[in-house]
Each structure stands twice: as C-alpha cells, then as structure tokens.
Copies of this chain bind each other. A is one copy, B any other.
Amino acid sequence: MGKKGEDTRTRILDTAQDMILGNGYAGVSIDKLISRLGMTKGAFFHHFKNKSELATALITRFSDDGVELFKESLARARKFSSDPLQQLMILIGQYEELFEGLEEPYAGCLLASYVYELQQFSEETREIINREFLLSRKELTKLFREIVKKYPPRVDVDIKSLADGFMSLFEGAFVLSKSLQEADVTFQQLQHYKTYIRLLFDPKLAA
C-alpha cells in the first residue's frame, strides 16, 4: 500500500472513531461516514472489505495505542526512580499531563463504547478490549506488590482491585465528562487516585 492509500485509511479510521464515540458503532452507517469524509463507497470498500473489518481495525488500533502508552509510561517511571511508590506517582503523573488543562471533554474511550455494544462483536473483539485492562491490572498489581513490601499500608487493601481502579477511573470519568460537558473530570479523579495511594502507603503523611 502506497503512502496515499495509507493516509486515506488513517483518515477513515480517525473520522470513524470520532463519529462512533458520539453515535455508537451501529449508529454510524457507511453512507454517513463516507459523506463526512467526502468520499465514495468504492473508496471505502477498497480499504476495508466490510464494516466489521473497520470495527476490528479501529479497536485494535485504539487498544494497541493504549497498551503502548501504558508500557512507555511505566518504563519511563521505572527509569526515573528506583522506588516503587515514586514510580507509581510518576506513572500517574504522566497521565495527569495528558488530561490537565483540556479545553473540551475527552472524546471518550472506544473500548467503553464497544463494551456497551459487545453483543454486536465477536468474542475476539472482547479479548482485544481486555488486553489493556488486563495489562494494567497485571503491571500495576506487580508494582503494588513492591510498594506494599516496602511501605506497609495503613489499611488492608486488595491490590488487584486497587490496580483495576486505575482503568476504571478513566472509564468512569469519561462518561461523566462527556455527559456533563466538563473537561476537568478526568484530571480531578486522577488526583484523587494519587491521594488515595499516598494515604495508603506514603509514610511522610503521618497523622
């Protein structure tokens, strides 16, 4: 595939994702999509053999990007500090940067959008969605194990669900942010998550 074709494919994916985040997958017809793209049906079906291939390409790209972002952020955090609690704070800090000072609410998470239409997709699609959830659960649980070992928590907590709280935070914040049309919801919830972690583990926070 040449550069122009690659660009067009990307343009289709970008526009489709934007429309799906506001209308749902079933709510975005190919006719409406190509109309907004100023493109014909022939063009679309040259790049995707059917609508469900577009769906798969979209969720794969979104999930892969999310996984990559998480891995990179974690690697950077691991690099900048040798202390597990510091590492977690740096990790969260990087996500804070992404959501700090947004003008508009974040468009939303394609994973969540698909989750509320899961019966339209294959089991394979659900597995793609779960990749990011399970990766962050795995890596954060590992990190929390290190933290617990070094910093005895003030209260007994289950660290797997504590790890899940990170992804859960985004999904919840996005819903509120979109509906209330407030851009800062995600950033604020990230701050609370950080505060919770510090209250649990940070020895400097003495009563």
Contact = CB atoms under 8 A, between A and B. Distances in A.
Interface of A: 21-27, 108-109, 111-113, 115-120, 126, 129-130, 133-134, 154-155, 157-158, 161-162, 164-165, 167-173, 175-176, 178-180, 185, 188-189, 191-192, 195-196, 198-200, 205-207
9 contacts: A24-B27, A27-B27, A112-B112, A112-B116, A126-B179, A154-B205, A165-B192, A167-B172, A206-B207
Nearest to A162: B192
B155 A199 contact: yes
How many copies of this chain sit in the oligomeric assembly? 2
Contacts of A119: 22-23, 27
Contact of A185 (B168, B178, B189): B168
Given A22-B117, A24-B24, A118-B22, A111 B161 contact: no
A163 to B, nearest CB: 11
Contacts of A173: 168, 172
B176 A188 contact: no
A97 to B, nearest CB: 18
A172 B21 CA distance: 16
Contact of A170 (B21, B130, B172, B195): B172
